[in-house]
Structure 1
Amino acid sequence: MGVEQHKKESPKKVNCKVITVSDTRTNDTDKSGNLIIRLLEENSHIIHDYEIVTDDFEVIEEAIKKGCLDQKIDVVLINGGTGIASRDVTVEVVQSLLEKELTGFGEIFRMLSYLEDIGSAAILSRAVAGVAYNTAIFSMPGSSGAVKLAMEKLIIPEISHVVREIRKDSKMESY
């Protein structure tokens, strides 16, 4: 069965949790979190939860686990905390939870960033995706440009397909 058939069999709507990692953003100033929500909703996906958490390993881990363990949520999307400063620990948290990593997500994100946007500074860009607790997790940088790139070029085109692949061998509810 080819990719196109897989996509035809994929759910039309997926249930999502959006997490913004920031010490300074609020609901009113969270442009990237709001962009993720808008793009998901424009593509008929459902937002079940949204929260802003601080750049703290345990706080980020708790927010991700809460989303993954919620039976209503198929995908957790995280923005922020992916840089190389000492407080940027989102990638380390996500990697500690993953059962399977989608290495292509980070690789292609950096390639697209290099080609379309930021040039050699793409080497500083950390993005990671994978599966934990039968839930897809996508972690992207917190800038609006990075979120737009990741969502439009990678996540939105594949989010339903990813959920289909996670569900296909499980006994979870049908889509």
Structure 2
Amino acid sequence: MSEVFELDKEIRIAVMTVSDTRTRETDTGGALVRELAVARNMKIAAQTIVKDDGGEIEGVMRQWLADVEIDAIISTGGTGIAGRDISIEAIAPFYDKELPGFGELFRYLSFTEDIGTRALLTRASAGVANETAIFILPGSRGAVELAMERLVLPELQHIVFELKKHHQSRA
């Protein structure tokens, strides 16, 4: 009989920034995801910046979802309504299950605590695929901080536990 996944295991995340203009030096949203995750003793298993290109985003997603060492994928950017904002269209089809509460709560918190009615423009989303948690966040530093501090980080350990609890513990 295999051991149950332990709730206190180190979480390994992959960070994808979707942008036609960001570079490693100007990627403040992706940098904040990394900073906040590391501060919570999570490991950055992979990170990349990709263009607003469906094929490029999908290629990274396929690679990361096949990697059993990645517990969560957090993407920033491309969640708005502009023509080039295609993160939702490229990533959400990978979901085995959507977590609609994430987007609902993110928009609620954005509305009440941050940007008011402009919150209706975000299409932030979350789901799970191949036993991996996926969060699609806006690219602004404020949105990343709100999502990570109020929603993602408080629940990520539990989400990963639920996804992996029937699997053998990792060394």
Fold shared by both chains (TM-score > 0.5): yes
Residue ranges of structure 2 left out of the alignment (5+ in a row): 1-5
- AA at the equivalent of 2:110: S
Aligned-pair identity in percent equals 47
Counterpart check, 1:108 vs 2:105:
yes
- 1:83 aligned partner: 80
Q: How does 1:32-111 map to 2 (within 5 A)?
A: 32-111=29-108
**Counterparts of 2:103 and 2:47, CA distance in 1:** 23
Distance in 1 between residues matched to 2:27 and 2:146, nearest whole Å: 17
Q: Note the residue ranges of structure 1 that are not aligned, 5 or more in a row.
A: 1-8
Matched, 1:118 2:115: yes
Aligned length: 166
C-alpha separation between the residues in 1 aligned to 2:63 and 2:8?
22
Map Cα deviations across residues 45-67 of structure 1 (whole Å, 9 max, x no partner). Answer: 00011100000111111112211
2:138 paired with 1:141 = yes
Q: Give the C-alpha shift of residue 115 in structure 1.
A: 0.4
**Structure showing greater relative contact order (alpha-carbon pairs closer than 8 Å, 6 or more residues apart):** 2
Q: Distance in 1 between matches of 2:91 and 2:113?
A: 26
CA-atom RMSD in angstroms: 1.3
CA deviation after TM superposition for structure 1 residue 145, in Å: 0.3
Kindly provide the amino acid, as one letter, of the partner of residue 36 in structure 1: V
Residue by residue over 1:87-127, the C-alpha shift from the partner in whole angstroms, topping out at 9 and shown as x without a partner, is: 11101122211000010000000000000000011100111
Which SS does the other structure have where 1:88 is aligned?
coil
1:13 matched to 2:10: yes
Counterparts of 2:58 and 2:112 in 1: how far apart (Å)? 32
Compute the TM-score of the two structures, normalised by the length of structure 1: 0.91
